[in-house]
C-alpha cells in the first residue's frame, strides 16, 4: 500500500476540458520541458485526461501549435510601420522574424508552406502591400512574401536545431575545428577559415541577410521591368519598320 502523503500524480477532480485550458497546459509544457516533449499523450497526462478527449477540442498537434502561435500573435504589439514602401517592406519582414523568434517551438510547423496565423495576417498584408508600393505586380508581391517567409523560416529552424544540439552537448568537439585539418590545396578557402567557422556561422546575421533578400527582390523586379520595356520598345520599332507607310 502506498504511504499517505507520498502519492504521485495529480489529485482531485480533473479540470474541465476546453480549448483555452488545453492551450494553457500546452504552453506550460513548452515553457518547462521544451517542444520535443509536447505530444497529445503528454498533454493528456498534464490535464488528467485522455488524448481522445483532447481531440474533441484540437484536431492534432499541428493545429495545437498553430493555435498557440495565433494566441502569441494576438499578444504581440503592433508597431507603427514606416510610410516609405521600401523601409516598410524591411520593417514588416523584421516584425515577422521577431514575432516567430519568440516561439522557439515554431520550427515544428515551419514545414507547412500554407502556414498562416490569423492574428499575424496584418504582417503578411503589410509585406505584400509594401512590395506592391515598391512597383511589383500583386502576383510578384506574393512571390516576394514567400521568398521572405522561406528565408525567415529557414533561419529560425536552423537556429532552433543548433540550440537543441548545444543544449544536449551532443556535438563532438572535433567538428568545431575540423576545417583547419582540410587539405589546403583542395579546400584553400575552408582551410583558411579553420577554427573561425563555428563562430562565423553562429552569428545572428538575419538582418543583414534580410536586407540582401529584399534588395535582390527589388533588383529582380527592376531588371524584369527593364527587360519588358526593352521588349516593348523593340516590338514597337519592328512595327514601325513593317508599317507600309514608312
pLDDT digits (tens, 9 = 90+) for 105-123: 776 666 665 556 788 899 9
DSSP 82-124: PSSHHHHHHHHHHHHHHHHHT-GGGGGGTT-TT---GGGHHHH
Correct CATH for 81-223 of 3.40.50.300, 3.60.15.10, 1.10.357.10, 3.60.60.10? 1.10.357.10
- The pLDDT score that the predictor gives to residue 14 is 52
Using CA atoms, how far apart are residues 68 and 173, in angstroms rounded to an integer? 36
Q: How many C-beta atoms surround the C-beta of residue 47 within 10 A?
A: 20
Using CA atoms, how far apart are residues 127 and 68, in angstroms rounded to an integer? 23
Q: Tell me which of 160 and 4 has the higher pLDDT.
A: 160
Quick one: pLDDT band at residue 237, thresholds 50, 70, 90?
Answer: very low
- Global pTM reads 0.75
pLDDT digits (tens, 9 = 90+) for 14-66: 557 899 999 999 999 988 888 888 999 999 999 999 999 999 999 988 889 88
DSSP 41-86: HHHHHHTTS-HHHHTTT-SSHHHHHHHHHHHHHHHSPPPPPPSSHH
The pLDDT of residue 7 is above 60:
no
Using CA atoms, how far apart are residues 3 and 24, in angstroms rounded to an integer? 32
pLDDT digits (tens, 9 = 90+) for 178-197: 777 888 899 999 988 888 88
- Weakest-pLDDT range from 14-23, 51-60, 162-171, 198-207: 162-171
Domain ranges in the chain are: 81-223
- The pLDDT score that the predictor gives to residue 225 is 54
Q: Is the dihedral of CA 216, 218, 221, 222 positive or negative?
A: negative
Average pLDDT taken over every residue of the chain? 81
The pLDDT of residue 232 is above 70:
no
Using CA atoms, how far apart are residues 23 and 42, in angstroms rounded to an integer? 13
Amino acid at each position: 500500500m502506498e504511504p499517505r502523503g507520498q502519492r504521485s500524480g495529480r489529485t482531485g477532480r480533473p479540470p474541465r476540458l476546453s480549448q483555452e485550458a488545453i492551450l494553457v497546459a500546452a504552453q506550460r509544457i513548452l515553457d518547462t520541458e521544451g517542444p520535443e516533449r509536447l505530444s497529445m499523450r503528454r498533454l493528456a497526462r498534464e490535464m488528467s485526461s485522455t488524448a481522445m478527449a483532447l481531440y474533441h477540442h484540437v484536431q492534432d498537434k499541428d493545429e495545437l501549435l498553430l493555435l498557440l502561435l495565433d494566441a502569441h500573435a494576438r499578444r504581440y504589439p503592433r508597431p507603427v510601420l514606416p510610410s516609405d514602401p521600401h523601409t516598410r517592406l524591411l520593417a514588416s519582414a523584421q516584425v515577422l522574424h521577431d514575432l516567430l523568434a519568440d516561439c522557439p517551438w515554431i520550427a515544428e510547423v515551419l514545414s507547412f508552406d500554407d502556414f498562416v496565423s490569423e492574428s499575424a495576417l496584418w504582417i503578411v498584408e503589410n509585406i505584400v502591400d509594401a512590395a506592391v508600393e515598391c512597383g511589383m505586380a500583386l502576383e510578384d508581391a506574393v512571390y516576394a512574401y514567400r521568398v521572405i517567409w522561406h528565408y525567415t523560416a529557414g533561419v529560425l529552424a536552423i537556429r532552433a536545431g543548433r540550440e537543441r544540439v548545444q543544449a544536449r552537448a551532443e556535438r563532438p568537439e572535433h567538428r568545431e575545428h575540423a576545417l583547419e585539418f582540410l587539405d589546403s590545396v583542395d579546400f584553400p578557402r575552408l582551410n583558411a577559415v579553420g577554427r573561425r567557422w563555428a563562430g562565423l556561422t553562429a552569428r545572428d546575421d538575419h538582418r543583414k541577410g534580410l536586407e540582401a533578400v529584399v534588395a535582390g527582390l527589388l533588383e529582380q523586379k527592376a531588371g524584369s521591368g527593364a527587360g519588358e520595356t526593352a521588349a516593348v520598345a523593340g516590338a514597337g520599332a519592328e512595327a514601325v519598320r513593317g508599317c507600309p507607310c514608312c
